[in-house]
C-alpha cells in the first residue's frame, strides 16, 4: 500500500520548507566543498542523503509493526507529531532574524578520500539526535494504518516511501552548495532579509501542515 498523494505532497512540502534556510547540513557540505574540493562537497551531500535514508529504514522497521497492531499509538503519535511540527514552525519564525544574521563562512577542513567523506556524512546524519527525533515524530502522522486493518508490510512501505522523501528534498540544495561552494555561501551571507523571509515562510508552512493533520481541514 503506497502512501496517499496528499501525504506525499505534505511530506515533500515540509522537507522543502525545512531545507529552505541554511543550516548545519548546508554548512557541512560547504566546508567540504570550499576546504577540500567540489567532489568532496558532493561526497558529503551523498553521505547526508544516505544517512537520511537509513534513518527512514530504521524508523519503518521500528514502528511499522506497532502501527499495524495498536490503534491508540497511531492517534497519540498523530497528536504528538502535529505538536512537534508546530514547535518546529514556531521555532523557525522565532529565530528567523537571529539565524539570518549568522555568518555562513565555511572553514577549511582536512583532505580525506571520497569514501571516508561519504561515511562521515552518513554518521553525521545518523548520530544527530535532532534528526532521529524528527524522523520518529514527523513521519507517523502521515501514515495510514487503516484503523489496524492494514498489514505491517503496507505500513512499512509507507514509512519507507515518505521517509526517503525527507533527505531527497534536501539533496538539490546540498548539491548546489557543493557545486557552487563559496559563491553560494557568500551570496546567502549578504541576503539576510531573504533568509529571514524564507524562515518565516518555512515556519508558516510547517504550522499549516500541522493544523491540517490535527483538524483535517484539507
Cell of 83: 505538536
Per-residue CA distances from 5 to 1, 29, 49, 146, 158 (Å): 12, 31, 23, 16, 11
State pTM to two decimals.
0.75
Distance from C-alpha of 148 to C-alpha of 182, rounded to nearest angstrom: 51
Give the separation between CA 31 and CA 211, rounded to whole angstroms: 37
List of residues 6+ apart from 8 with CB closer than 8 A = 161, 162, 165
Residues 49 and 173 sit within 8 Å (Cβ to Cβ): no
| Tens of each residue's pLDDT in the chain, 218 residues | 678 888 888 888 888 777 766 666 777 787 777 777 788 888 988 999 898 889 888 888 877 777 767 767 777 877 888 888 888 888 888 877 665 555 555 555 566 788 888 998 898 888 877 777 778 888 888 887 765 566 778 888 888 898 888 888 888 878 877 777 666 666 655 566 776 777 788 888 888 888 877 675 54
The DSSP letter of residue 102 is S
Distance separating alpha carbons of residues 123 and 47, to the nearest angstrom: 8
Domain boundaries, the chain: 5-215
Amino acid at each position: 500500500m503506497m502512501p496517499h498523494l496528499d501525504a506525499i505532497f505534505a511530506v515533500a512540502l515540509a522537507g522543502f520548507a525545512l531545507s529552505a534556510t541554511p543550516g548545519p547540513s548546508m554548512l557541512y557540505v560547504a566546508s567540504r566543498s570550499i576546504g577540500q574540493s567540489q567532489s568532496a562537497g558532493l561526497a558529503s551531500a551523498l553521505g547526508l542523503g544516505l544517512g537520511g535514508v537509513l534513518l527512514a529504514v530504521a524508523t519503518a522497521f521500528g514502528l511499522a509493526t506497532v502501527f499495524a497492531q495498536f490503534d491508540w499509538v497511531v492517534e497519540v503519535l498523530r497528536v504528538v507529531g502535529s505538536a512537534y511540527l508546530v514547535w518546529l514552525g514556531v521555532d523557525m519564525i522565532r529565530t528567523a532574524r537571529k539565524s539570518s544574521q549568522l555568518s555562513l563562512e565555511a572553514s577549511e577542513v582536512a583532505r580525506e578520500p571520497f569514501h571516508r567523506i561519504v561515511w562521515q556524512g552518513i554518521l553525521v546524519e545518523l548520530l544527530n539526535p535532532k534528526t532521529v527525533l524528527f524522523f520518529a515524530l514527523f513521519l507517523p502522522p502521515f501514515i495510514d494504518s487503516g484503523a489496524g486493518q492494514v498489514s505491517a508490510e503496507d505500513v512499512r512501505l509507507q514509512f519507507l516511501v515518505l521517509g526517503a522523501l525527507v533527505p531527497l528534498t534536501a539533496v538539490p540544495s546540498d548539491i548546489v552548495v557543493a557545486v557552487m561552494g563559496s559563491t553560494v555561501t557568500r551570496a546567502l551571507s549578504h541576503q539576510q532579509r531573504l533568509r529571514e523571509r524564507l524562515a518565516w515562510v518555512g515556519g508558516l508552512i510547517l504550522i499549516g501542515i500541522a493544523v491540517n493533520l490535527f483538524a483535517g481541514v484539507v
